[in-house]
């Protein structure tokens, strides 16, 4: 019976201030959408990093004057490292073939050069991308090696851009969350104002403070929850419609836009949880003065 | 039932509403608090429901020291002290029945109890036929009866009334006083602040007169006052 009372009171409050409620709900939705965006962005970067890491190889370019014996020795030495999974020799001819394949649509790139212009190399595949720099350093010193290259720089850059983007977006969503808490507080204050006579009588006849507060707190949480559901729906829709297509378009990057159900669920959970917190904070702000009476 | 010991109330703006007021009211008494406007009548009433706290002294209601009563217990105190006001304080968008039922619902009383007690109490105050009317369809006297019904439906130990006849004509006031008298006869302690001479004189009950926050008279079976 009490539950029914609280629910109907909450519904009445929301209806009375429909416009304010809509404003509060949409700010919550927008701020949470930003938050969800941040989460998805870092999931994308994570995917990119993973797929890059899987492909991280160290290319040890060999001196043209290195003797087959030296190369053989280096190859055996590298194979002996526990961090090294596989070492392949790429001859000048093979390198040129790959180069031609890579730029097959731009003959002006490969036509002027021949196999002799490209260095032979050893391609070192690691068991774990984390050892890249360490192993690269060791190879650097070998006499047959002219230069060592690996994809670490790109990943580093990517992570930097990601953390910058994260910070900016998180700051924006924080500001919006404060705004939505304030809007919720305002909505509730209006609801309290509209019902001040009833509240006065409730106090008069001995209704407990919690009995009076609960419908208003529910109102705040409900508004925030609707906002969270709206933003969650947008995230789910984006995942189903947008990301799958983007994933197909950039399939060569690997499964960058593919998220497991668990990953999506964790984003939704975060949105709903943060939404509830925003609603509670807003309600508490509105009720604080009223608590003292 | 009600006891104040040397109670003073000074408001922040320097007004000394009550000074050194000691009153002892027994269970089942009917007490008029009289005096001109600003004499401290309303402040005294507000102390009884802990709407205001005294600056000095102690207030005991139903055996409880209100100065040590924690805030969360105040609602339970108020369930024992029904309140009636000059301006009725009815909700205009609720019917007579709903207004009285509201008083029970918001203290969490079960629906069955509400359905049983509200018509009973409205019968008692003489509005058994007007359950579905809205306050603005009723006369002032009828509205005050609804407000008394709401204050009494929970069977409080004490009923306090602050100028309950202040907005009513003399004939209607008599009816309200009869009702309060009837409630008093059920054993409920009634404390009524008023400056209505005719009523006080006709009832012949205990009269406590305040002037500038001091008790100037406490008389059983009194009249409003000599020379006023």
In tens, the pLDDT along B88-129 reads 999 988 999 999 999 898 888 898 999 999 999 999 999 999
Residues of A with Cβ-Cβ distance to B150 under 8 angstroms: 205
Please, which residues 83-112 of chain A have a Cβ atom closer than 8 Å to chain B?
A: none
Residue A207 per-residue DSSP state: -
Q: How far apart are the C-alpha atoms of A65 and B16, rounded to whole Å?
A: 107
Q: Give the confidence band of A155 by pLDDT, cuts at 50, 70, 90.
A: low
Residues of B with Cβ-Cβ distance to A1 under 8 angstroms: 110-111
- Structure-token pair, residue B151: 């204050």
The pLDDT tens digits of the residues spanning B182-211 come to 999 999 999 999 988 889 998 999 999 999
* CB atoms A209 and B102 under 8 Å: no
Q: Give the confidence band of A129 by pLDDT, cuts at 50, 70, 90.
A: low
| H helix intervals, B11-126 | 41-48, 74-78, 96-105, 111-124
**Cβ-count burial of A108 within 10 angstroms (0-12 exposed, 13-18 middle, 19+ buried)?**
exposed
Q: How far apart are the C-alpha atoms of B151 and B149, rounded to whole Å?
A: 5
- Residue A207 near chain B (CB below 8 Å): yes
Position B226 scores a pLDDT of 60
If you measure CA to CA, which chain B residue comes closest to A200?
B89
Q: What ipTM describes this predicted complex?
A: 0.84
Q: Measuring CA to CA, which residue among A139, A1, A129, A120 is closest to residue A56?
A: A129
| H helix intervals, chain A | 2-16, 18-55, 68-80, 92-102, 107-110, 132-140, 152-194, 196-205, 209-237, 244-249, 261-291
Best mutation target among A8, A16, A201 (most B Cβ atoms within 10 Å) is A201
Strand partners, A105: none
Please, which residues 52-71 of chain B have a Cβ atom closer than 8 Å to chain A?
A: 71
Sheet holding A57-62, edge to edge: A84-90, A121-126, A57-62, A145-150
Q: How far apart are the C-alpha atoms of A290 and B148, rounded to whole Å?
A: 27
Please, which residues 94-153 of chain B have a Cβ atom closer than 8 Å to chain A?
A: 102-103, 105-108, 110-111, 150-151
If you measure CA to CA, which chain B residue comes closest to A208?
B75
Best mutation target among A1, A7, A205, A293 (most B Cβ atoms within 10 Å) is A205
- Residue B77 near chain A (CB below 8 Å): yes
Q: How far apart are the C-alpha atoms of B202 and B224, rounded to whole Å?
A: 9
* CB atoms A207 and B77 under 8 Å: no
* CB atoms A206 and B108 under 8 Å: no
């Amino acid at each position: 019976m009490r539950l029914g009372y609280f629910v109907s009171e909450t519904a009445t409050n929301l209806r009375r201030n429909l416009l304010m409620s809509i404003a509060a709900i949409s700010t919550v939705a927008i701020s949470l959408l930003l938050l969800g965006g941040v989460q998805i962005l870092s999931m994308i970067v994570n995917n990119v990093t993973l797929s890059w890491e899987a492909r991280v190889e160290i290319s040890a370019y060999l001196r043209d004057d290195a003797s087959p014996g030296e190369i053989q020795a280096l190859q055996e030495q590298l194979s002996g490292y526990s961090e090294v999974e596989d070492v392949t020799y790429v001859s000048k001819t093979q390198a040129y073939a790959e180069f031609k394949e890579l730029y097959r649509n731009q003959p002006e790139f490969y036509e002027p050069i021949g196999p002799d212009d490209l260095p032979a190399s050893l391609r070192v595949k690691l068991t774990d991308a984390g050892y890249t720099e360490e192993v690269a350093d060791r190879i650097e010193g070998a006499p047959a090696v002219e230069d060592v290259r690996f994809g670490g720089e790109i990943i580093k850059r990517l992570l930097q851009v990601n953390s910058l983007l994260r910070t900016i977006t998180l700051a924006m969503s924080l500001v919006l969350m404060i705004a939505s808490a304030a809007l919720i507080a305002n909505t509730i204050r209006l609801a309290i104002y509209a019902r001040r006579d009833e509240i006065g009588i409730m106090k008069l006849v001995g209704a407990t403070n919690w009995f009076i507060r609960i419908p208003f707190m529910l109102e705040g949480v409900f508004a925030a929850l609707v906002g969270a559901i709206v933003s969650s729906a947008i995230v789910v829709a984006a995942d189903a419609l947008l990301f799958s297509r983007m994933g197909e378009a950039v399939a060569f990057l690997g499964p960058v836009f593919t998220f497991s159900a668990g990953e999506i669920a964790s984003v939704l959970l975060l949105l709903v949880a943060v939404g509830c917190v925003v609603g509670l904070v807003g309600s508490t702000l509105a009720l604080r003065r009223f608590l003292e009476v | 039932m009600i006891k104040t010991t040397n109670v003073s109330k000074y408001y922040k703006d320097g007004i000394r509403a009550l000074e050194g007021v000691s009153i002892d009211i027994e269970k089942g008494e009917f007490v008029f608090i009289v005096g001109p406007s600003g004499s401290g009548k309303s402040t005294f009433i507000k102390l009884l429901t802990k709407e205001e706290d005294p600056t000095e002294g102690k207030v005991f209601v139903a055996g409880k020291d209100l100065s040590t009563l924690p805030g969360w217990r105040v609602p339970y105190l108020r369930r024992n002290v029904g309140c009636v006001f000059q301006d009725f304080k009815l909700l205009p968008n609720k019917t007579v029945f709903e207004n009285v039922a509201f008083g029970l619902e918001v203290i969490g009383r079960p629906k069955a109890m509400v359905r049983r007690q509200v018509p009973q109490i409205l019968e008692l105050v003489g509005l058994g036929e007007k359950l579905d009317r809205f306050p603005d369809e009723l006369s002032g006297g009828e509205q005050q009866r609804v407000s008394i019904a709401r204050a009494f439906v929970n069977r409080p130990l004490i009923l306090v009334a602050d100028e309950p006849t202040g907005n009513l004509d003399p004939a209607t006031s008599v009816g309200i006083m009869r009702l309060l008298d009837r409630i008093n006869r059920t054993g409920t302690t009634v404390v009524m602040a008023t400056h209505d001479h005719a009523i006080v004189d006709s009832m012949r009950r205990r009269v406590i007169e305040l002037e500038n926050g001091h008790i100037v008279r406490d008389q059983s079976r009194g009249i409003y006052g000599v020379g006023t």
